[in-house]
Amino acid sequence: MLPVLNYLHSQGIIHRDIAPDNIICRADDGLPVLIDLGGVKQIAAEVSHKADSSQNVVSAGTKLGKFGYAPDEQMRLGIVAPHSDLYALAVTSLVLMTGKFPSELINPKTMEWQWSQELKLSPKFEGILNRMLAPIPGDRFQSAEEILAQLEPPTPEIIAPIQMSKIEQKNQGIETKTALVTIPEPGNIMQSSNEIPEEIIGWSWGGFLLPGFWCLTNHVWVGLIAWIDLSFVTFGMGWLLTGIVLGFKGNEWAWKSRQWKSISEFKKHQRMWAIISLLLIFSIAIMGILVILFVFVIAAIITG
């Protein structure tokens, strides 16, 4: 996409509306294609073609752009330049890699981007994205050519293992496909190749309380042992022993064995299981107490 923007900017053209729904995947070669160029004509007419380079192209035209994708000066004042498109391209990249909306990747109080906790990228690539997202226009890259010069082929490698999956979007009646980054690569729970993020290490309440059910959605099939009668080994405590094992190792094994989009998705899933497990155990305990009270009341009535 950077070579495309480099060409447009060299012609004095600013797209102004770069977002996921304006990028489609070309079927024959799988390359991304920038669409919806209707908003560039006014800018092209306003920009002087006498500019020496794309770095000098700055215009205050009609306001256009999507909230969250376009930079502040574009949304408030209608001021655009090549770095405006580069800002929107960086936001679009983060949305596609995390599967989250821009509002979920920015601190609403400080208006600072906080996407780094969702992705693990090489320090160089992270620095490039942060500079593209700089709040002050002068601190950003002023041309796509500057970014291309820093990107040594191949494109900077994403440190965390990824697997690309396609999601379908509909934009103005056109069905398009976009790539999402998902981590980690699913595998065997005994593999040591998948790095375990520190944020997910801890006790798994879902695995401890409901091991026979928790294992199904987390793909930790060792939890099925809870359903097997191994009384000669476990002395009738198969469910409890399996739960203890999954309580200690459940999060780690679930991270390795199933495909997750992000750490936050993983933590949300485990939180859901913890709530379900605690509510179920609490409900069973309440029912048990009520049954005992009922028996005592009946016994008191009979003996009285």
What residue type is 42 in one-letter code? Q
Q: Is-cis flag, bond preceding 184, omega within 30?
A: yes
- Decide the pairing of beta strands 174-182 and 163-171: antiparallel
3-class SS at 218? Answer: helix
What distance in Å separates the CA atoms of residue 198 and residue 170, rounded to the nearest whole number?
37
Nearest to 189 by CA among 250, 266, 263, 244: 250
User: CB 87: neighbour CB atoms within 10 A?
Assistant: 26
b/e sequence 195-227, b meaning 16+ C-beta within 10 Å? eebeebeeebbbbbbbbbbbbeebebebbebbe
Long-range CB contacts (< 8 A, 24+ apart) of 276-279?
276/206, 276/210, 277/205, 277/206, 277/208, 277/209, 277/210, 277/214, 278/205, 278/209
Q: Helix, strand or coil for residue 181?
A: strand
Calculate the CA 90 to chain-centre distance.
15
Catalytic residue among 17, 28, 85, 229: 17
- Please, what is the angle between helix 211-218 and helix 238-257, to 10°? 10
CA distance 182 to 255: 12
Task: Answer yes or no: 229 catalytic.
Answer: no
User: Which residues form the catalytic set?
Assistant: 17
